[in-house]
A and B are shown apart, each in its own frame.
Chain A
Amino acid sequence: MSGFAKPLKIALGLAVIAALIVVPMNFNRYGLFILSQWAVMSIAAMGLNLTLGYAGQVSLAQGAFVGIGAYAAAIMTTHGWPLPAAILVAIVLSFAVGWVLGYPALRVQHHYLAFVTLAFSTLAFLVFRNESWLTGGIYGISNIPRPHIFGLATNRPLPFYYVCLGSLAIVSLAVWWLIRSPWGRAFMALRENPLRAQSLGVDTRRYTLMAFAIGSALGGVAGALYAPLTQYIDPVPFNLSLSLDLLMMVIVGGAGFYFGPFLGAMIAVLLPEWLRFTEGYYLMLYAVAVMLLLIWSPTGILGILDRYLAERRTKAASALRAVAKSRLETVQ
């Protein structure tokens, strides 16, 4: 994204934020629900992007962490606790479980790691479904209340959309800061060359666990927002396919790009809705679109932009060089 001039980038960013605040004001219930869902899924995908895109650890369990967060929020808020407390518990719980899940990553990598996390995902689903004393089993938990923020009720769709959007903004800023901090650089070192990172004194063990734990914690945050958004949860949305969907969002948007998860979540949440006019065919078209995109650009949507900008920079650089060379020749 560094090809744009800085003021232009800031202006573009502000315009997008303003549009996200203003445009939905006259959306109907369903439109607001979808947009809130986009914000929630973006948070979960951002967490996975940290684990996968920046630290290079494949995880097929992000959906399970969304589930853990959702159940934590649902159980606590239906027992009278405020949502912020529930979010905190969701973060701590997902962080701890994510940390433990990171231990296999110290032993095995790549597809093996993917399968360990896949197995974890299935186990978490079984717990959600079978431990009905806690989770309500297949009947789920209903009547999940929406929070009061600064004394304002957010029962209606629009205020709750702003809760989701605000949470997305906070998480985005935190992640922006994180990937620019030494930690973010350590994550990238881990992805690019773990051996070299270790020889340079990066504690790869700790950062691998950290990458899992932080990524999972963001999944927990997303879940804690998902529960009051739908106001009813059962185990089905948190099965393996949510994990696969989130992985798809990260790769399609562009793994390792800051804005990748936003775009990926947009494609995964909004594209099927836009294709609804095709009725029974919409998921089929969605699948074909994802495959075509990946064939065209395996690094996702932002990979296309990145390649284009890199090409333009190379051209600009060689043009400058040509000018400099001809000037040098005229001087001689």
Chain B
Amino acid sequence: MSNLFDLLVAGLATGAIYALVAVGFTLLWQTSQTINFAQGEFVMLPAFLMLAAMHVGAPFWLAIILGILLSMILLGLAFKLLLVDPMMRHGVLPLAIATMALAIGIKEAVKQFFSAEASPFPSIVPTGDISILGHAVSLQSIGVLVVAILAVLGLTTLLNRTSLGHQMQAAAQNPTVARIIGVPVERMILLTFLINAFLVALASLLITPIYLAKFSSGEVLGQAAFIAAIVGGFNQVRGAIAGGLLIGVLDNLAAAYVSTQYRAAVPMIFLIAVILFRPQGLLGRAEERTV
């Protein structure tokens, strides 16, 4: 049973990171119908921005701050102004394709300007194990869980308890009415893009020490975040969190108990089942047909 406990902890830790990425993904979908196929690359890039800052001599804490700020400028502001804004009114598909091209662009740029090799990345949590209930649990897993939970709690508090959060929800649910009652819808949409950029930068900071910084590492992560978002419910923040944790645990259990060859198939089959039998996601609301 100790094996199962370890798997659960490791699964929850990866799942918490998936949840961060999936939450950002659903935020973009809710406010601007953006399906961001570059979300995985959005997680990959900030680590390289931080590495670059350290390369020019910044200490680690400063590199983190610079990395997050740069991510918010590039992946939040510039992404919205340069790509999403001109394409938003043309429907979901062309924008989704443009983000696929963006994913290729980011990957190639990192490969060209940084390195095609994997680079090590310092951890914000000290390495080592502590003992919980007689099990050795790595500090890294606990650190990841704590940071991710804090981030998610902060976000849900912002969304549900503050006037700003209520305005953002209004802008997402019904932009026309929100505009009439005086919500600055445009600014709220921009805010969700900045929040998404912050979340992916945070996820980058948490996951890169575990999997190393590599230009291609976004592919797997992006897919996991998609699946988490859909399984949990595309239109619900709490759905994305549940989906992320579930996929993380499922992934780890599948690797141990199904087969390493087909571990990637388990979340996929789960995804197909959820879409066919509960398309709105486990915690989602059904989207009404507008015909």
The interface of chain A, by Cβ under 8 A from chain B, is 58, 104, 107-108, 110-112, 114-116, 118-120, 122-123, 126, 129-130, 195, 240, 244, 247-248, 251-252, 255, 280-281, 283-284, 286-288, 290-291, 294-295, 298-299
Contacts of B83 in A (CB 8 A): 291, 295
By the criterion CB–CB under 8 Å, are A119 and B291 in contact? no
Q: How far apart sit A248 and B223, CA to CA, in the bound complex (Å)?
A: 18
Shortest 7 CB-CB distances between A and B: which pairs? A287-B105, A298-B90, A298-B94, A290-B101, A119-B268, A287-B104, A284-B108
By the criterion CB–CB under 8 Å, are B272 and A248 in contact? no
Instruction: Spot the interface stretch: B169-177, B242-250, B259-267.
Output: B259-267
By the criterion CB–CB under 8 Å, are A291 and B268 in contact? no
Q: Does B91 contact A (CB under 8 A)?
A: yes
With A104-B272, A110-B92, A119-B268 known as contacts, the answer to whether A248 contacts B97 (CB < 8 A) is: yes
**14 A-B interface contacts by CB (under 8 A):** A58-B93, A111-B92, A111-B234, A114-B96, A119-B272, A123-B265, A126-B262, A129-B261, A240-B223, A280-B111, A281-B112, A284-B108, A287-B108, A288-B105
The majority secondary structure among interface residues of chain B is helix
Further contacts, 6 of them, CB under 8 A, given A195-B291, A255-B93: A108-B276, A111-B35, A112-B230, A112-B279, A115-B227, A122-B264
Q: How far apart sit A111 and B112, CA to CA, in the bound complex (Å)?
A: 32
Q: How far apart sit A247 and B83, CA to CA, in the bound complex (Å)?
A: 19
By the criterion CB–CB under 8 Å, are B275 and A115 in contact? yes
Q: How far apart sit A248 and B100, CA to CA, in the bound complex (Å)?
A: 8
Q: How far apart sit A118 and B96, CA to CA, in the bound complex (Å)?
A: 14
Q: Does B188 contact A (CB under 8 A)?
A: no
With A130-B261, A280-B112 known as contacts, the answer to whether A295 contacts B291 (CB < 8 A) is: no
Contacts of A58 in B (CB 8 A): 93
Contact among B97, B234, B291 with A294 in the assembled complex (CB-CB below 8 Å): B97
Count: A-B pairs, CB below 8 Å: 110
A5 to chain B, nearest CB (A): 32
By the criterion CB–CB under 8 Å, are A122 and B86 in contact? no
B243 to chain A, nearest CB (A): 12
By the criterion CB–CB under 8 Å, are B268 and A123 in contact? yes
Contacts of A281 in B (CB 8 A): 108, 112
Contacts of B223 in A (CB 8 A): 118, 122, 240
With CB as the reference atom, state the residue of chain A lying closest to B90. Answer: A298
Contacts of B271 in A (CB 8 A): 115-116, 119
By the criterion CB–CB under 8 Å, are B101 and A291 in contact? yes
By the criterion CB–CB under 8 Å, are A244 and B269 in contact? no
With A251-B93, A280-B112, A287-B108 known as contacts, the answer to whether A122 contacts B102 (CB < 8 A) is: no
With CB as the reference atom, state the residue of chain B lying closest to A244. Answer: B100
Q: Does B77 contact A (CB under 8 A)?
A: no
Q: Does B109 contact A (CB under 8 A)?
A: yes
